[in-house]
A and B are shown apart, each in its own frame.
Chain A
């Protein structure tokens, strides 16, 4: 607190000599915290980037050599990669959008003065309390062709004449997995949106009411614009989370049937640990980092512009 207050008072010209000494002290103080970051986070990242330019393969008698951009060239012409990238984009975009829509609805509902509101708010958090692997196992049981609750409910309602093998059918596997993705990611999105909703000044709604704006207009012209920074933040973060999703889909389908749910991360995992092409898998990782950075770039740029 005092530090910032002091700094705002100091004119920029006289700050330079101070920062020199202060900077060194800060550095020494930060060192214990920086070491783990460098060793466990930056180190592996740089190693991964380095691997992307080699032909590293698994095996004791494999020799690694530098291959320049060859892996990137292969990647651009690899039909399987593009198929997987397409699936990844369908997955990330649809999960993010559906998640947002469902969560906004839920947040609006929970923002109203309902009975058992506190209880409902706690219930909403339940999926968050489960690790992705447990969620995957649970939904595998839900989707089970013979013993799953989904098939039996739909059959009882007369909507299905024969059991559907949800996770093994070429056309429904991806949608089925997307539903689980939406369900899993809803708590954090809902909570963030709810927090945002509570920050919208009540006076604006009162004013809107006075002017005779309908519920829909109030939502469109007050709620949405007020929520915009929150929406941009949470959807960008959701997108990054979703495109990097691995555990959930790995447990649900392992990328099957026939690669219909092979997200980019699963593809990279298979390349590395199944087929042993470490270099190529690292290239895939780098490619995804670039995509994520692009999304984050847009997000940060907007944030900066708003602050500016």
Chain B
């Protein structure tokens, strides 16, 4: 393709004259190429638009695949017992029975499951976020010997998978009588979360040291500096990490299944799993799906409300929580 004639003149001038000209395909360079390949071809802009239509169709089909199973769960949860075995399948329940959502509360310890999950997730994330942010402040802004070594050691801990340490951890908690309580799920989290410390530390690198030095000159204690200067500064970064962490604890399964036996002491994820095991033999799928949908709903709502922050934070940090 020849560019020598078309580049300098009109292509360079066009954006100055017409703000719309910056859009793809408006420059003579590109339209020149398309007309050279097929004489009757559409302009680059229309080709781009056609591509958009095609991509939208494909993405829409994908979106159906992504949401299909979730919608189907909801649809199953509103069916009668006979309707789930109907052939051809009922995509929209007929009749719609909301009764499953009433039945589900007495069919198993769903309410205590929600309560236990809330207790664990809220305690861990609220206290853990505080301890993490205080530590991040010290790591980012305070002088201390062996600071980096300590930080690297904590980071190295990330490499150790939970299954590798779960057996001795279980035995320790068994020895002090914490099995079948929520404490083994709560207590380790209270000591903070290295992923959160890591990101808050990174975030704090952008806060100038001078404001901290100034506060020190004014006689502020380190705790005062943390509360008045650091905490307000890192709040936005913390909020996203907090939500991700909350969802991770809420959705946790391996630690709860190890520690909790009594149905009333189990977290929500375990409760719906035992719903699944218990009612599948009676083929009471509407009930199972109602319980699962209830378990999905809180996180779904949190996600839809905070989706911008969550998506930005994940895209920025790669952290899943």
A and B: interacting chains: no
Q: Interface on A for B, CB 8 Å cutoff?
A: none
Q: Interface on B for A, CB 8 Å cutoff?
A: none
